[in-house]
């Protein structure tokens, strides 16, 4: 994995552990020689990931929509900063530039990015690992809900393991490196669906 897209919040929670985690994730990726592709902002967890990676000597590629770049939240310290017209172009460029995806704590936008990465993997638009960093148990209920969708039958058995999760960034990177792509829906026959 040469580059990973990191999905996370642009907010700064009151609990300082989240900002510390984001900086640690950026630094850890840089120490492993993995470039960061992220939302291009300088605020909240996004900014902390970028700063952590840059301070550790890593590559940081920001991808930000024009509307956000124009509101002065763009991080011009990035190795590269791409300004795109909207969110669809942003997420496509995340996918094009990355060898996988890591989701750390965040809100609605972070969930949008995670579920789209999982959906695109399920369909076959990419075959890259989709990681979820469950630090502090933040995503316990999301992991349980993903299992619930599978147990009810809305997630096929072949696709239940698309979401790779761990509570530690080193453990998560190890699992992602070992990921073997599943059979996507585009390659399945009607009887498999």
Domain ranges of the chain: 3-182
Considering the domain 3-182, what is its CATH architecture? 3-Layer(aba) Sandwich (3.40)
Residue range 96-105, pLDDT digits in tens: 999 999 999 9
DSSP string covering 114-157: HHHHHHHHHHTS----EEEE-GGGTTHHHHHHHHHHHHHTSS-G
Q: Which residue has the tokens 């009810």?
A: 152
Average pLDDT over residues 164-185: 94
Residue range 89-130, pLDDT digits in tens: 999 999 999 999 999 999 999 999 999 999 999 999 999 999
Going from the C-alpha of 19 to that of each of 13, 31, 52, 120, 161, the distances in angstroms are: 8, 18, 10, 29, 28
Alpha carbons 41 and 78: distance in angstroms, whole number: 9
Which pLDDT value is given to residue 105?
Answer: 98
The candidate with the shortest Cα–Cα distance to 162, out of 134, 130, 192, is 130
Which pLDDT value is given to residue 191?
Answer: 67
Which pLDDT value is given to residue 115?
Answer: 97
Q: How many CA atoms lie within 13 A of 112 on its CB side?
A: 10
Residue range 45-86, pLDDT digits in tens: 999 999 999 999 999 999 999 999 888 799 999 999 999 999
Pick the range with the lowest mean pLDDT from 27-36, 77-86, 182-191: 182-191
């Amino acid at each position: 994995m040469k580059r990973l897209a990191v999905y996370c919040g642009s907010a700064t929670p009151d609990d300082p552990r989240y900002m510390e985690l984001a900086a640690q994730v950026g630094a850890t990726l840089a120490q492993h020689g993995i470039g960061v592709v992220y939302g291009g902002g300088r605020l909240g967890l996004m900014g902390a990931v970028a700063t952590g990676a840059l301070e550790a000597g890593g590559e940081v590629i920001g991808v930000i929509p024009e509307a956000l770049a124009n509101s002065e939240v763009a991080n011009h310290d990035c190795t590269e900063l791409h300004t795109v017209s909207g969110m669809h172009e942003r997420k496509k460029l995340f996918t094009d530039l990355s060898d996988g995806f890591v989701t750390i704590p965040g809100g609605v936008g972070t969930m949008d990015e995670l579920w789209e990465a999982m959906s695109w993997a399920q369909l076959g638009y990419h075959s890259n690992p989709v990681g979820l960093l469950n630090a502090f148990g933040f995503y316990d209920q999301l992991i349980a809900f993903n299992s619930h969708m599978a147990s009810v039958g809305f997630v096929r058995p072949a696709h239940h393991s698309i979401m790779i999760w761990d509570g530690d960034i080193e453990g998560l990177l190890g699992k992602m490196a070992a990921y073997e792509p599943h059979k996507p829906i585009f390659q399945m026959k009607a009887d498999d669906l």
